[in-house]
Structure 1
Amino acid sequence: MPIKGYGVLKGIAIDGKDERDNSTPHYQIRMIGEDNTDYRIAVNVMSSSHESEVLYLVDEQYDASSITILPTMSNGFTRITKDNRDIALDYVRGELFDPSKMVPLPHDKSGPDNDLNDKIQKYIEKAIKEKAICYVYGSEWGPENNKPDKIFGFEPGRGVHNVHMNQGNEGRWKGDNGSWQDGGILIQFKDKWVAIFLAFLSQSWCTNEKGHSTESCSHTDVKKREAVPAR
């Protein structure tokens, strides 16, 4: 069964907070969507599996020519279904980037700009400063009525998680598999688009139309397979 509530949140980022000591750390982003509605974006920066590092890729000159519909959308969270799947992300089928260029990064390492928290924070801080429009893909949670957000304190708590590849899982997370439901972050700056893609080392990149693994296949093996036609 695919993840529930898949879609894309459009809005502006107003705060960011890294987590380094938490047993399940995330990079937390506060965003404003429709009608000044608050959202918290929980971005995984460490895997809960035996593989502790997360695969990361950023494209600082992302080609947004195929997603021109995004700027025309209203702010807020838009559910993605079969009817509007043309705006969905799929790391395997969408030809969004070269998976072999993804690199594993720890969530916490001494020094500047060398761990996943640092990398994400760099672009979120720039987006906050320039009031750039952000598009966050993942699954919606909340609203949690009468319960303030545990990180930023706004009420009711609500937001987006699963901001990463959501297919090729085995074991505990196999039930989340699906095609055309991957997460990620796109930032629309004045002069360019920046895209951030994330995946877990434990996920397979050889998947069927239901997002289930067909064989053990890493991100570096993708180029060796026959190319999957673009939608």
Structure 2
Amino acid sequence: MPLKNYSLLKGRPINNRLGSGANPHYQVLISDGADQYRIAVNVQSSDGSEVEYLVRSRFDHPITEQLLAFEDGLHRLPSAPGGVALDFIRGNLAQPWEFKPLPLSAPGPDNDLNEKVDSYVQRAMADEASTIYAFGESWGPETKADKIFGFRPGRGIHDIHFNQGNPPGSFAASNGPWQDGGLIFHFPTSSQWSAVFLKFQTQAWHSDDHSGEPIVSPTPVERDRIPPFDAPDGLVRIVAALVNDVNSPEQETVTLLNTADVPVDLSGWTLRDKNKNAMPLSGQIAAGATTVVNVAAPVSLSNRGGIITLVDGNGVKVHGVSYTREQARQPGRTIPFQQ
């Protein structure tokens, strides 16, 4: 079953503790102006392995505009698309190859997970205009004081990481789509958003759209298909999109790049928008070539920001991108994507 109390905590960081000990978590004390909360961030796996991390120093995503509407404090979130719930895969927040494992602590500057998280928390604590948005599973209020910072009643949010794709075992019960954890920082004085996303090495990237369970490994016959079922990520990529056309009627386009050394047949593939509307694709892309796809109903690319996702004939995501209202502001300009 998925998380029981998937939530968003918004507030100001006022204290912190580096992760250490047998079950290390980086801890942040948050104030919403009236109440206090604790954010507990896993900086090492329970089996002792390194956690994979992704830091976006410039986080551009349509979700940021929605986040500004939230008041400080703790908010329960529906685990569903269309709101601010995080899903690394379906929300096109990250690509799997961007995550790198990092130790809890290591000699030298800026080379361990404690330091990566701490650099943004310290910056936020030093800037009174800044805000932290923490996504995960909330707990409390408890009848006792918080065990780290001592405030009463103890309460906060944890599971600040990918919350799907867990293998069978003690963590499989928390699998689910649209309930991933993460830290998003807003620094309005510099007009900057930043994000920290974490993932355990045991978690599969591709998961079922309904259960969040890992997608079953392919048979040997399936592995021989192009693109390979067990490694489809980024084989064909969305490299550009025209979402705000100057013509009438408007004609939106998406440009695809085949990175493989063989042609890729797009039969059975679909292109999807932020509302999960799907448009079937057809034809082939030659090795190393690009093709421009004319977007047609029911898919529509909003000028107010959105996401574009490419899914193969097995229903597995191959690539995805996002764009903001600002990127789509100028009519006739094609938006390039680098991921």
Matches within 5 A, 1:143-182: 143-145=141-143, 147-170=144-167, 171-182=169-180
Structure 2 residue runs of 5 or longer lacking an equivalent are 219-230, 236-315, 323-339
> Does the residue aligned with 2:138 lie in a helix, a strand or coil?
strand
> Does the residue aligned with 2:135 lie in a helix, a strand or coil?
strand
Higher helix share: 1
Tell me, yes or no, if the aligned pair for 2:79 and 2:85 is still in contact at 8 Å: no
Percent of aligned pairs with the same residue? Answer: 41
Alignment of 1:114 with 2:205, yes or no, is no
Tell me: CA distance 1:200–1:83, structure 2 relative to 1, closer, same or farther (3 Å): closer
Tell me: CA distance 1:183–1:221, structure 2 relative to 1, closer, same or farther (3 Å): farther
What is the aligned partner in structure 1 of residue 318 from structure 2?
227
Greater mean alpha carbon deviation, residues 177-186 or residues 80-89: 80-89
> Does the residue aligned with 1:222 lie in a helix, a strand or coil?
coil
Matches within 5 A, 1:40-79: 40-49=38-47, 52-79=49-76
- Partners of 1:39 and 1:166 in 2: CA distance: 21
What is the aligned partner in structure 1 of residue 213 from structure 2?
212
Tell me: CA distance 1:216–1:47, structure 2 relative to 1, closer, same or farther (3 Å): farther
Alignment deviations for residues 120-151 of structure 1 (CA, whole Å, 9 cap, x no partner) = 00000000001211100001001112x11111
Tell me, yes or no, if the aligned pair for 1:85 and 1:180 is still in contact at 8 Å: no
- Partners of 2:233 and 2:174 in 1: CA distance: 21
What is the aligned partner in structure 2 of residue 134 from structure 1?
132
Tell me, yes or no, if the aligned pair for 1:174 and 1:212 is still in contact at 8 Å: yes
What is the aligned partner in structure 2 of residue 25 from structure 1?
24
- TM-score for both structures, normalised by structure 1: 0.91
How far 1:83 moved relative to its partner? 7.2
Tell me, yes or no, if the aligned pair for 1:54 and 1:199 is still in contact at 8 Å: yes
How far 1:97 moved relative to its partner? 2.0
What is the aligned partner in structure 1 of residue 254 from structure 2?
none
The structure having more radius of gyration, on CA atoms, is 2
- TM-score for both structures, normalised by structure 2: 0.63
How far 1:66 moved relative to its partner? 3.7
CA RMSD of aligned residues (A): 2.1
How far 1:92 moved relative to its partner? 1.3
Tell me: CA distance 1:42–1:221, structure 2 relative to 1, closer, same or farther (3 Å): farther
Tell me, yes or no, if the aligned pair for 2:15 and 2:28 is still in contact at 8 Å: yes
Q: Which has the higher contact order (CA 8 A, sep 6+)?
A: 1
Tell me, yes or no, if the aligned pair for 2:232 and 2:318 is still in contact at 8 Å: no
How far 1:95 moved relative to its partner? 0.5
What is the aligned partner in structure 2 of residue 16 from structure 1?
16
What is the aligned partner in structure 2 of residue 103 from structure 1?
100
How far 1:230 moved relative to its partner? 7.7
Alignment deviations for residues 85-123 of structure 1 (CA, whole Å, 9 cap, x no partner) = 511000111111222111100101112211000110000
Tell me, yes or no, if the aligned pair for 2:7 and 2:137 is still in contact at 8 Å: yes
